A and B are shown apart, each in its own frame.
Chain A
Amino acid sequence: MIQFTDITGLTGMALACAVVLSSLLGRVARGVAIAPALMLGGAFLLMLVPVAGLPLAAYVRGMIGDLSVTSVVLLAYVAARRCGGPAGPANDESRNALAWGLVLLTACLLYPLALGASALDPYRWGYGDPGFMTGLLTLAVVGHLARIPFVAVAISLAVLAWTVGWTESTNLWDYLIAPMLSIVAASRVLAAMVSGLRQRMT
């Protein structure tokens, strides 16, 4: 019988694949008029089609694991926007870049240390270290006060999901950050830097 955490894991992965696929499809078939919602919905359903006993999304899930809650929230926002949903808070490029920079910095510290670069293993904190929780609370409050809602809301939703056991992982880090989110963060930071350089040069 399928577990609740398999449903959340597969749904998140199908959503991620649907956003990527529909984006690619949108670029390939520019002349063809297909409603974005239809394209997204079709790609989402396609990822749930079983092949050799497993949904397509399960193959991607096997390779890269479950997405963090922050990733799923962002993907859901992107999907909603494509389908004509409301925009989020007013765009502030510098604050957005700061948020992505925070994700990238966290990834650059977490992954090497968790993979054995030193005796310190910050991943251990994610099993319920009170100091880590306090740090996250502080960061969420600072994010709110600094008017970077992405930071405050993403951290809060990640803690909420960890509390209710939304995915297989019992480690809070897995709800906060994922390698794919880190790659997106790196590309956003790079794009912001290139944009900044161009502005200076003109």
Chain B
Amino acid sequence: MSRKAKWGPWAVPGLILIVFVAGFFKQSQRPPSAPFVPPVQAEPAVGTARPLPDASEGPSTRFVSPESGPHRHAGSLVELKDGRIRAFWFSGSREGAQDVDIRSAVFDPSKRRWEGEASVTDRDATQTDLWRYVKKLGNPVPLRAADGRLHLFYVTVSLGGWAGSSISMITSADEGQSWGPARRLITSPFINVSTLVKGTPFLYADGSIGLPVYHEFIGKFGELLRIDGAGRVIDKQRLSHGRGSLQPVVLIQDAERAQVLMRHAGPSRPNRVIGTSTGDAGRHWTAATKTSLPNPSAAVTGFALPQGPLLAVVNNIEANRDALSLMVSIDGGKAWRTLATLEDQLAWRQADLVEADFVAANRTLVRTTDASLKDVDSLVESARRHQCVRGRCSFEFSYPYLIRAANGDAHLVYTWNRSAIKHISFSRRWLEQRLKALESGA
């Protein structure tokens, strides 16, 4: 009997047996589900961060990158170990242009100033790292991993528009001064389209990463990726389905409970933020439904305070993005009240906003935002260039990103007229004072 004839009948069963024993072993190594890392009480400021301001001090404002010129969009934040805040955004001749790069700068609360703006990565660097063609870059979101390193997740597109997006990731071991090579996350079976990031990443108690993502190809819906410490996707969950929601952000209330808020994206009226929640650390999510928060199909952001209230920054209107508010809910997301109006240009809706009015209004807005800014006109001109078409203009305050620092202060960045990233810091005392005033009905 030949060797082939002797072993032939057993070759395929043998292969199946060996392979599946190995496969089941690998499957058994997958980490079990883990609770969320709950929000913690504020600690005193460390390092260079300045002490808490007076209770009378309100939110302070400034531009992250005030020089005129490029289109700027999709700001995000992470706190550094010394209490400074690092921002990321994308910038280029226009959204989706090949010259867009991801940029970063650092805010020092003791100096109340943004500095050290630099490019983090661009299309060329990303495609060289990934060994595949990359057409354009988009939204970046950072996270401090359990091992102390910073991860930056950002959108990359190789084919088509934003519907063709995938997520790439880079890592820094020196607080964002230098970054390692990009890695691609594979998150979809259909030529790895279309997954995007916008919401704040978070940690599970076992050190794995929760990354809220969304699809906008055939469907528009939110998902939650779970990524291990090495940057490998180990699980994925649906937060919604269909064509009605985008850009989830997870507001973690405690180890087991979290609320998710999502941008309204469907044709159904009224336009409301879409919400879902979990009571078992994300093992199960409720069906996604409309909340009471108005939403003009624009990104939302927020977090839960350790005492229980939820904070969110939204365009609390049903159309356009010309108003932005800090909202609070003290009943777990059922009812929302305005804690502070951050932008409000609704009055211009009645008028035909021509360039001269837009420029004059923005000049006032820029001076109000940062009185020390010297070159007001060039930023105003930049806003005119990005927001006016054939002499008619519109305001845009969008893509908010809110974080809570270890000392309890909150920091918000958002797109200001597609020309700058605006930063508002809220002191812990001011927040507490406003919450108390709201609770007492003031």
Interface residues in chain A, defined as those with a beta carbon under 8 Å from any beta carbon in chain B: 1-3, 6, 9-10, 53-55, 58-59, 61-66, 110-112, 114-119, 121, 123-124, 126-130, 133, 136-137, 140-141, 144, 149, 152-153, 156-157, 159-160, 162-163, 167-171, 173-174, 177, 179
Contact = CB atoms under 8 A, between A and B. Distances in A.
Contacts of B181: 1
B189 A171 contact: yes
Residue from A10, A126, A141, A168 with most neighbouring chain B CB atoms (10 Å): A168
B413 to A, nearest CB: 30
Nearest to A1: B181
B238 A58 contact: no
B: interface residue count bin: 35 or more
B189 A127 contact: no
B131 interface: yes
Contact of A116 (B30, B236, B241): B241
Contact of B24 (A61, A133, A141, A170): A133
B189 A110 contact: yes
Contacts of B12: 144, 149, 152-153, 156
B428 interface: no
B232 A170 contact: yes
B23 A117 contact: no
A62 B132 contact: yes
A118 B288 CA distance: 13
Contacts of A162: 23, 26
B158 interface: yes
B134 interface: yes
20 contacts: A55-B131, A62-B130, A116-B218, A116-B243, A119-B241, A124-B237, A124-B238, A127-B30, A127-B235, A144-B13, A149-B12, A152-B12, A153-B12, A153-B15, A156-B16, A168-B183, A168-B184, A171-B233, A177-B189, A179-B190
B235 A124 contact: yes
Given A121-B223, A130-B24, A133-B27, 17 more contacts: A6-B130, A10-B131, A53-B127, A54-B127, A61-B131, A62-B134, A115-B217, A116-B215, A119-B238, A128-B234, A133-B20, A133-B23, A141-B13, A156-B16, A159-B20, A170-B234, A179-B190
B133 A144 contact: no
Nearest to B158: A62
Contacts of B25: 163
Contacts of A2: 131
Residue from B30, B189, B219, B236 with most neighbouring chain A CB atoms (10 Å): B189
Interface of B: 12-13, 15-16, 19-20, 22-27, 30, 124, 127-128, 130-135, 158-159, 181, 183-184, 186, 188-192, 215, 217-221, 223, 232-238, 241-243
Given A123-B189, A128-B30, A116 B19 contact: no
B167 to A, nearest CB: 12
A62 B133 contact: yes
Contacts of A58: 127, 131-133
Contact of B159 (A62, A137, A159): A62
A174 B192 CA distance: 9
A128 B188 CA distance: 15
Given A63-B191, A149-B12, A170-B233, A116 B22 contact: no
Contacts of A140: 16, 20
A63 B27 contact: no
- Sorted from nearest, which 3 A-B pairs have the closest CB atoms? A116-B219, A62-B133, A62-B158
Contacts of B218: 112, 115-117
Nearest to A126: B189
Nearest to A62: B133
Contacts of A53: 124, 127-128
Contacts of A173: 189
Contacts of B128: 53-54
